């Protein structure tokens, strides 16, 4: 997978879908809360949950942490997995408050910050990288199932590549540019909503010209 190939994908996605303006959140803490809530969950459901958190006065670190976990779970109910996510949100918020909030963390180097995020219960690789890129504005490329699927469609074998290997590939081939990584991941998610979903669907797909499955699958 070469740098020009990754550029070509990005250029076509941007031309087709336009800038996505991620991450949709009011402030860093809300962004991080959203990252946990959106785990394996449609964003529309996350939006409802965030509105309910705001209505309940729980969309700030101290209130969220101090609330009974049952009350927090009820507030985020529309996001699904609400019992699991309520615990994860409090685990994360405890870590966040203990660290002194955003400003002290913003001074930690990216590698250390990533390790510290991954040590928090409920924060895995993708959620950690979402937070690093979209809240702390570090040049970390977020990998998800869509990334594998789309890169696979263009004819590159990334089936066996582990998360870290695929992330290393993107970060090696592309310049360490926060704005680029921000837009690229957002475009991949945006693209997946309307393309490359079932199997074929390549009719009218902006990647059609460079999609190897265009002839065989549809």
Partner DNA sequence: ACCCAGGGTCATA
Partner DNA sequence: TATGACCATGGG
Nearer to DNA, 62 or 197 (CB): 197
**Residue 3 vs 179, nearer CB to DNA:** 179
CA count, 13 A, side-chain hemisphere, 171: 15
User: In this complex, which beta carbon is closest to DNA, that of residue 41 or of residue 180?
Assistant: 41
Q: Which CB atom, from 148 or from 156, has the smaller least distance to DNA?
A: 148
**Residues constituting the chain:** 218
Least CB distance from residue 103 to DNA, whole Å?
23
Cβ pair 34, 48 in contact under 8 A: no
> Closest CB to DNA among 41 and 56?
41
The span from the CA of 97 to the CA of 109, in Å, is 18
CA distance 157 to 138: 27
End-to-end C-alpha distance for the chain, whole angstroms: 23
Round to whole Å and give the CA distance between 30 and 204: 36
Q: Which is nearer to DNA, 5 or 91 (CB)?
A: 91
User: CB 203 → DNA: shortest distance, Å?
Assistant: 17
> Cβ of residue 64: shortest distance to DNA, in angstroms?
17
Chain-centre distance for alpha carbon 106 = 19
Compute φ and ψ for 25, nearest 5 degrees.
Answer: -160, 155
- Give the residues lining the site for DNA (CB under 7 A): 22-24, 34-35, 38-45, 48, 77-85, 121-128, 130, 134, 144-146, 162, 189, 192-193, 197
What's the min distance (Å) between Cβ of 179 and DNA?
16
Q: Which residues contact 70 (CB under 8 A, 6 or more apart)?
A: 86
Backbone angles phi and psi of 14, in degrees to 5? -65, -40
Q: What's the min distance (Å) between Cβ of 78 and DNA?
A: 4
CB of 90 to DNA, least distance (A): 13
């Amino acid at each position: 997978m070469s740098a020009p190939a990754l550029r070509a994908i990005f250029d076509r996605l941007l031309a087709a879908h336009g800038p996505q303006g991620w991450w949709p959140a009011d402030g860093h803490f809300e962004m991080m809360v959203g990252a946990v809530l959106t785990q394996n969950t449609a964003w529309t459901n996350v939006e409802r949950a965030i509105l309910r958190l705001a209505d309940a006065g729980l969309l700030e670190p101290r209130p969220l942490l101090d609330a009974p976990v049952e009350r927090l779970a009820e507030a985020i109910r529309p996001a699904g997995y609400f019992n699991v996510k309520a615990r994860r949100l409090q685990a994360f918020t405890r870590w966040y408050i203990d660290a002194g909030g955003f400003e002290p963390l913003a001074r930690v180097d990216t590698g250390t910050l990533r390790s510290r995020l991954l040590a928090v219960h409920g924060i895995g690789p993708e959620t950690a990288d979402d937070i690093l890129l979209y809240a702390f504005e570090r040049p970390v490329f977020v990998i998800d199932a869509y990334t594998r699927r789309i890169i696979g469609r263009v004819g590159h074998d990334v089936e066996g590549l582990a998360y870290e290997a695929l992330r290393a590939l993107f970060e090696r081939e592309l310049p360490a540019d926060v704005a680029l990584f921000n837009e690229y991941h957002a475009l991949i998610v945006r693209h997946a909503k309307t393309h490359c979903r079932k199997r074929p669907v390549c009719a009218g797909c902006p990647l059609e010209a460079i999609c190897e499955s265009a002839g065989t699958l549809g």
